Structure 1
Amino acid sequence: MKLLIIALLVILAFGIFRFYRQRSYLKTLTEEEFIKGYRKAQLIDVREPQEFDRGHILGARNIPVTQLKQRLIELRKDKPVYLYCQSGSRSARAAQILHKKGYEDISQLKGGFKKWTGKIKTK
């Protein structure tokens, strides 16, 4: 029982550490903040292609988080990167990958695509 409690505390501490560490390199923007800057940024939808085809933010490029490491050549380090996924978890994972590869200006859409009320494009 004691071991279980210790394990849970370690997991909790690690989660809190990762949350605060992530906040040091990933900005989470409201829709209004996102709209203000995304035209000057590299707008990346990190969802899978079939999700992207069902609807995406106008002007977004689809680079699924599962392909991001192989497709880093498509992204510039000298321009801001705006990420979004369906809810925010995959864009946070993508931000972690980008941060490890030296990208510095990384933002994500708060609440993801499901909270987006702006213009969208479908295939």
Structure 2
Amino acid sequence: MKNENTDQGVLEIWTPEEVAQALDKHEIALIDVRTPQEYMFEHIPGALLFPMSFFDAAHLPSQEGKRLVFYCGSSVRSGKMAQKAMAAGYSPMAHLEGGFGNWKKSGQRYVGTEMSSGAPKEMTA
């Protein structure tokens, strides 16, 4: 895990492997801040959808018992939303390094779309 100093405090940047391990152990709530269309096409299993365009930190799940980790396509949007959450008093806060693109590049499993039927399908990169 890396740390980035921001105006809101220290933001943790997790690798895909760290996120996958914590997700498998039910230690985190993973929040996808991409659009509903992006999420429906492909997403990380177990991720909650909270699009950036509707983001309001007051409606985030409690951190009691679980850390919050954000992700988007490349980590730009997730970094911004993590900083918004920190500004609202959430701490510690983390996001996925390199976003969903890096998740797939690292070979992690994800839910994609079966192009012949349009149905969701578990995929591996």
Q: Same fold (TM over 0.5)?
A: yes
TM range (shorter): 0.7 to 0.9
Q: Which has the higher strand share?
A: 2
Q: Does 1:31 align with 2:31?
A: no
The equivalent residue for 2:108 is 118
Superposition RMSD on alpha carbons, in Å? 1.9
Cα distance in 1 for residues equivalent to 2:82 and 2:5: 14
> Structure 2 length as normaliser, TM-score?
0.74
> 4+ residue runs of structure 1 moved beyond 3 angstroms?
none
Cα distance in 1 for residues equivalent to 2:15 and 2:68: 15
Q: How does 1:63-82 map to 2 (within 5 A)?
A: 63-69=50-56, 72-78=58-64, 79-82=66-69
The alignment partner of 1:120 has SS state of strand
Segments of structure 2 that go 5 or more residues without pairing to the other structure are: 113-119, 121-125
Q: Does 1:104 align with 2:91?
A: yes
Equivalences, count: 104
> Structure 1 length as normaliser, TM-score?
0.75
Identity of aligned residues (%): 31
Segments of structure 1 that go 5 or more residues without pairing to the other structure are: 1-18
Bigger radius of gyration, 1 or 2?
1
Q: Which has the higher helix share?
A: 1
